[in-house]
Structure 1
Amino acid sequence: MQDGRIPIYQVIQDFIKNQIQTGIWSPGDKIFTEKELMEKFEVSRITVSNALTGLTKEGWLNRIQGKGSYVHDMALTLRNPAQPAAGSGMSTPAEQGDSRNVIGLILPNISDFFSMRMNKGISKALKQSGYNFVLMLSENSKDREAAAIRELLYMGASGLIIFPVDAETYNEEILRLKLERFPLVIIDRYLTGIETHFIGSDGVEASRLAVNHLYELGHRDIAICSDVPLSTTTIEQRLSGYMKALKELGEMINPAMMLTDFYVDYEREELDEQHPLFRYVKNGLATAYITLNGTMALHLYRIVRHLGLQVPRDISIVTFDNLSPSREFNFFTYIDQHEETVGRLAAEQLLELLEDKSKINQQENKYRKLLIEPHLVSSVSTAACPVRSKP
């Protein structure tokens, strides 16, 4: 595409090729159904069909009408290190006999625009580098993240860019990479106690921006909510920024407004009316909410509508993720974390390490930790605080 954006059908194709290349799917295995791929990537049937048709023409799949798509026997040849698939968009180990030209990226998923924009930034930076690019997904699982790291090392990757999973403890495979001084850059989620090259958005400043925006609109009962472990440094930073902003505004910090000790089943079709977040909204305890991820913003919006309320007339919402492919069509006021810039800088940092091997053996206090300044983009999900009637 002319603007450099990766077509979504190609993202789906790269995912399927990756599953085959890494041995997760073997010849003869049935892959995900069209419906499952539609749900996973949140796209139309025609987009999925185009992706599968292209892979069938390339020899990766067999499509049997009424039964589904299966990995073709030819895929063994396509994933053979000595015979990479032409134009596949994914690299095989030791392409052209040289295993040192592969850079691996591990993301939790690519089902949202946040990850896709970060992936775009990395792709752009690596385009003219001479390195091939292998994307693997952890599905936010520590075990799959560890397996992805081992697989990329087996393929002979020269360096890795890792977006760590949300977990209470870090992955030991990442610690192993650090101890062995393997070229590595961590993005978005900083790991406490493990000094590595890190590039991400400034979470403290991001929360301050969100609080200040809502405060200027007259909101005083501002809740912040997250469904990921508090031990994740990114979440700690955002909570710290929330409390810092309230202190600067001369407001008392109400622990009841920090909604972090719960789990949300996003796959559940019906809302759980006994869930703490549902009851919190129902009881009108806050006039504004800051959600620490876009999925929760959508879930919160469902709750508000279910209760017969409206956003932003009754409740304002600020989220950390831009849920739209562009600013022009965005409903939610959001924190722009400049994820494409984060991805680009991470790739450039890794390339710099690979070009100058001496930097890999540097002392720990020289690891580069770069925080990108976030910005708030106002939209229609926030408005002046509604006037509440006295009891």
Structure 2
Amino acid sequence: MKPASPSKKPQRQLYLEIADKVLDIIESRRLEPHDPVPSEGELAKLFGVSRMTSKLALERLAEQGVVYRLPRRGTFLAGKRETAGTLAGAPEKPAPDDRESGRRIALIVPHLSDYTSRIIAAVEHEARRHGCDLILKISKDKDDEDRCLQTLVDGGIDGLVLFPQGRKTCSDQVLRLKLQQVPIVIIDRIFREVQIDCVYHDHFQGSYQMAKYLIEKGHRDIGYTSNATENITSREERYQGYIQALLDHGIPVKTEYIHFRGVPCDPSRINECDPEQRQFIGGNPLMTAVMCGDDHIAISTLFTALHMNVPVPDKLSIVGFSDIQLSALTPIPLTTVRQDTDRLARSSVELLMKRMNRSKEKQLTVKIQTEIIERKSVAVRGDSL
């Protein structure tokens, strides 16, 4: 049979049209209760529509009680078989578990690290708590991220949690999915130019509180070092938190105390003496503390200082951001800002469930609070508050 060519109408009308065609198939094939109904993929090929459209059509029939859907098994005709018109008229609804449990959600992360591994474990736990199966994708680059998103949507995924690559703006692929009303939640990033659900840590407040902590310990010559911000909101907000805390406490911002790396910090070499960090430390002998954009840079700064025979924390206090596992295991355990991955996962999955359940609430931005973890890398100066 050649694929039919449905007229180009708004998506809502198109999926209702496909739902009517499924009723015709049920009648023409004289399907009996519990017989399989054509799948999303079969309907997409048969009628020349997207899998999302055929998915919406089957969901419509499931809501009407015409069919029921079983995870990983397929879609089946429900109830006592009548004519197609009767089926669409006053159906018995399937048991809630048939429609609510066993849904599939996907998590896409840009790399594997201690931080993302904790996010993966926490999201998987939350997914199981909601009766969902989790699919994990690790994107290699921006193009691969787009391919992962499209493949998952084509495969009929129910919802997406995306930890995006380091983009300056929201990708065209994410915008398309938003327009198609595919449930998607962005984590650990915020795209200011588009209204889209996101859950991320309050990087500004975390950095502000860390700078305030150092000031209360008596430090006034406080430096800042980070990978280039590259319009990545988390990096920008951490830097802004540092600047604002100094200004609020009447401490001059010294440009020589601010260092953005020309080459990103290499996590596999953080125990070596890093040339950029060496130059930064050596060029600022009066600096008593340095805030680092993340824990990898903090650990690299710590080892570089030790290679230079700069005592930590007596001569130079060093703090990080994220609280990766390694930060507690360095020669001088690192004081840092902890990002709560459990709360991040819980909030993102709960928000995704709302969208999967057709919530009409406007797009939400959820900020997760951070906390300072005190260890041994900060010394108290004489003029502490």
> What's the TM-score once normalised by structure 2's chain length?
0.67
| Partners of 2:278 and 2:370 in 1: CA distance | 30
Q: Judging changes above 3 Å, is the alpha-carbon distance between structure 1 residues 166 and 158 closer, same or farther for their aligned structure 2 residues?
A: same
Matches within 5 A, 1:1-391: 95-97=72-74, 101-112=103-114, 114-139=115-140, 141-264=141-264, 266=266, 267=268, 275-285=275-285, 286-324=287-325, 331-355=333-357, 357-359=358-360, 366-385=362-381
Give distance in 2, aligned partners of 1:106 and 1:368: 20
Give the paired residue count: 285
Q: Distance in 2 between matches of 1:218 and 1:294?
A: 22
Q: Which runs of 5+ in 2 are unaligned?
A: 1-70, 76-98
Larger Rg over CA atoms: 2
Contact 1:188 1:234 in 2 (8 A): yes
Asked if structure 2 preserves the Cα contact closer than 8 Å seen for 1:314 and 1:386, the reply is: no
1:187 partner letter:
I
> Unmatched 5+ residue regions in structure 1?
1-93
Counterpart of 1:320 in 2: which secondary structure? coil
Question: Do the aligned partners of 1:227 and 1:262 also contact (CA within 8 Å) in 2?
Answer: yes
Query: Could you tell me how far apart the structure 2 residues matched to 1:282 and 1:325 are?
Result: 25
Identity %: 26
Cα deviation, residue 313, structure 1: 2.1
Q: Distance in 1 between matches of 2:125 and 2:157?
A: 19
Contact kept in structure 1, 2:327 and 2:334, CA below 8 Å: no
* Superposed displacement of residue 143, structure 1: 2.0
1:325 CA displacement? 7.7
Residue 116 of structure 1 deviates from its aligned partner by 2.2
State how far apart, in whole Å, the 2-side matches of 1:256 and 1:181 are. Answer: 48
CA change 1:313–1:386 in 2 (3 A) is: farther
Distance 1:269 1:342, change over 3 A: closer
1:195–1:256 distance in 2 versus 1, CA, 3 Å: farther
Whole-Å separation in 1 of the counterparts to 2:175 and 2:128: 29
The C-alpha deviation readout for 1:154-194, integer Å capped at 9, x for no partner, is 32211110111223343222222222222111111111212
Partner of 1:32: none
Q: Over the residues paired in the alignment, what is the CA RMSD in angstroms? A: 2.7
Write the letter of the residue equivalent to 1:371: K
Tell me how far apart the structure 2 counterparts of residues 334 and 270 of structure 1 sit (CA, whole Å). Answer: 18
Question: TM-score, normalization: structure 1?
Answer: 0.66
Distance 1:385 1:283 in 2: 21
Query: What is the CA distance between 1:326 and its match in structure 2?
Result: 9.8
CA distance in 1, matches of 2:269, 2:227: 15
Question: Residue 280 and residue 129 in structure 1: after superposition, are their counterparts in 2 closer, same or farther (change >3 A)?
Answer: same
Counterpart of 2:304, as a letter, is: I
Which one is further off, 254-263 or 178-187? 254-263
The range that moved more, 258-267 or 114-123, is: 258-267
Pair 1:308–1:382, CA change in 2 (3 A): same
User: Which residue identity lines up with residue 188 of structure 1 in the other structure?
Assistant: D
- The higher relative CO (CA closer than 8 Å, separation ≥ 6) is in 1
